[in-house]
Amino acid sequence: MSSLQPVRGTHDHLPEDARRHRDVVDTTRAVVALYGYQEMSTPIFEFSEVFKRTLGDTSDIVTKEMYTFEDRGGDTVTLRPEATAAVARAFISGGLQQQLPLKFFVHGPMFRYERPQKGRLRQFHQIDIELLGIAEPMGDVEIVAAGAHVLEALGVLGKTTLELNTLGDTESRDAYRAALVAYFEGHLDKLSDDSRERLTRNPLRILDSKDEGDRAVVKDAPVFADHLTEAAQDYFARVRTGLERIGVSYELNPRLVRGLDYYCHTAFEFTTTELGAQGAVIAGGRYDGLIQQMGGPPTPGIGWAGGIERLALLAAKNMDAPRPVALVPIGEAAEATAQILAAKLRHAGFAIDLGFRGGLKRRMKDANKANARVAVLMGEDELARDAATLRDLDTGEQSEVALASLEDALAPYR
């Protein structure tokens, strides 16, 4: 029955998936803590206006992808499609202006009604950091550096490329918008219906179009760099110098944009070619106008979000599960001793696999299935000597160890 299957675009996190998911979150948490980011969370659903104000009434996310419904109280609420707007709302409703600057780390499920494919789901999960209250280029450098550090800690930085661009200041953006409109108006017959509609509302979003006809037109469109004010050029130069100073390499991508007006200055993505069409694993940018647009005080901000599923896929080879110590008792008396030892060793920090039934052959088979690193064999002969046999399951080497010194003997396998 279809009702007994996961909803399309969702999946269960069985132990292996859950472990890899947790590794991404735990690694990120540890890395961003080095930069002073503190963990917080927001509700999974918000009043729909939170996202309509920030993502734009005409964006694909709002018009086609949001899970929006009326609750029993008659309020229109939306399952969050991204974290930044929710964090901004929490900043405003929590009255946190006097605590600036603020550094937040968020993780959790997001929801978008998209066509599922590898690395893209309708319920997906993100890691996210946000820096509020810092308008200087050093903030941009820190945010990008933190993203690179997370990827390095996951062992995948070498599989990614940092693409960097600037969206300039308001004056730059206005000049670029005018140039884009003039260019696209000369190619109206070649634009898709969606892009012709975007031309009057948000022409920058045409640059993100996946339509092949639109892409052909976009190829020769004006670039942002030609319309930057001197101040915007200086800002971007300081960001680039900062990244170069700390050894974060990047490639300039003049077509990398953000379609909404509250974005400015630095836009960036860490992309990979190893996940098919879903190339971006971390994407971010500066959004100095967001909080004011939502009704809060003027507050600069910059941040990024990364897809946990995509990062877990990319880092799969680097996320080996911890290998336990297998206790292999033979006989009833040995089982009692093994139970005592298992409790003692677990409290000492060892991962212990203790089978529930079977003789030596069955228990060794279970130890191999658990991918145990070492087996501790206990039979009548060993117990008579208050000893156990340690067998290295990778090399096959074994030795007898006194039970009193077992914990020390197992230390290399912790």
Give the end of a domain, one of 318, 338, 356.
Answer: 318
Same domain, residue pair 306 and 360:
no
Enumerate residue ranges in the chain where pLDDT < 50.
1
**pLDDT tens, residue by residue, 326-338:** 999 998 889 999 9
Same domain, residue pair 31 and 128:
yes
Would 216 be classed as within a structural domain? no
Look at residue 306 and give its three-state secondary structure.
strand
Q: What is the pTM of this model?
A: 0.86
DSSP 56: -
Same domain, residue pair 354 and 271:
no
Please report the pLDDT score of residue 260 as a whole number. Answer: 75
**pLDDT tens, residue by residue, 107-134:** 999 999 877 776 678 999 999 999 999 9
Look at residue 155 and give its three-state secondary structure.
coil
Q: For position 121, which CATH number holds?
A: 3.30.930.10
Would 178 be classed as within a structural domain? no
Please report the pLDDT score of residue 54 as a whole number. Answer: 75
Residue pair 128/304 in contact (Cβ under 8 Å)? The answer is yes
CA distance 113 to 7: 11
Burial of 22 (0-12, 13-18, 19+ CB in 10 A): middle
Instruction: Calculate the CA 360 to chain-centre distance.
Output: 44
Please report the pLDDT score of residue 151 as a whole number. Answer: 98
Would 391 be classed as within a structural domain? yes
Burial of 188 (0-12, 13-18, 19+ CB in 10 A): exposed
Q: On the CB side of 158, how many CA atoms lie within 13 Å of its CA?
A: 2
| Count of Cβ atoms closer than 10 Å to residue 167 Cβ | 24
CA distance 136 to 239: 9
Same domain, residue pair 48 and 105:
yes
Would 126 be classed as within a structural domain? yes
Give the end of a domain, one of 301, 318, 335.
Answer: 318
Residue pair 126/110 in contact (Cβ under 8 Å)? The answer is yes
Same domain, residue pair 265 and 397:
no
CA distance 29 to 18: 16
Bridge partners, 123 (sequence order): 111
Same domain, residue pair 282 and 348:
no
List the one residue out of 360, 312, 371 whose CA is nearest residue 338.
360
CA distance 401 to 170: 73
Q: For position 409, which CATH number holds?
A: 3.40.50.800
Same domain, residue pair 129 and 52:
yes
φ/ψ of residue 262, rounded to 5:
-80, -10
Residue pair 125/82 in contact (Cβ under 8 Å)? The answer is no
Same domain, residue pair 276 and 238:
yes
Same domain, residue pair 258 and 402:
no
Please report the pLDDT score of residue 377 as a whole number. Answer: 95
Q: Which domain holds residue 336?
A: 325-413
Would 194 be classed as within a structural domain? no
CA distance 87 to 100: 14
- Retrieve residue 193's tokens: 């219906």
Please report the pLDDT score of residue 61 as a whole number. Answer: 64
Same domain, residue pair 291 and 359:
no
Give the end of a domain, one of 318, 345, 362.
Answer: 318
- Retrieve residue 276's tokens: 């098919």
Instruction: Calculate the CA 130 to chain-centre distance.
Output: 13
Residue pair 96/64 in contact (Cβ under 8 Å)? The answer is no
| Count of Cβ atoms closer than 10 Å to residue 100 Cβ | 13
Please identify which residue in the block is written with the tokens 């960097």. Answer: 164
Would 24 be classed as within a structural domain? yes
Same domain, residue pair 43 and 155:
yes
Would 201 be classed as within a structural domain? no
φ/ψ of residue 350, rounded to 5:
-90, 140
What is the total count of domains within the chain?
2
Sheet of strand 325-329: strand arrangement: 352-354, 325-329, 374-378, 387-392, 398-402
CA distance 2 to 201: 41
Would 350 be classed as within a structural domain? yes
Same domain, residue pair 330 and 280:
no
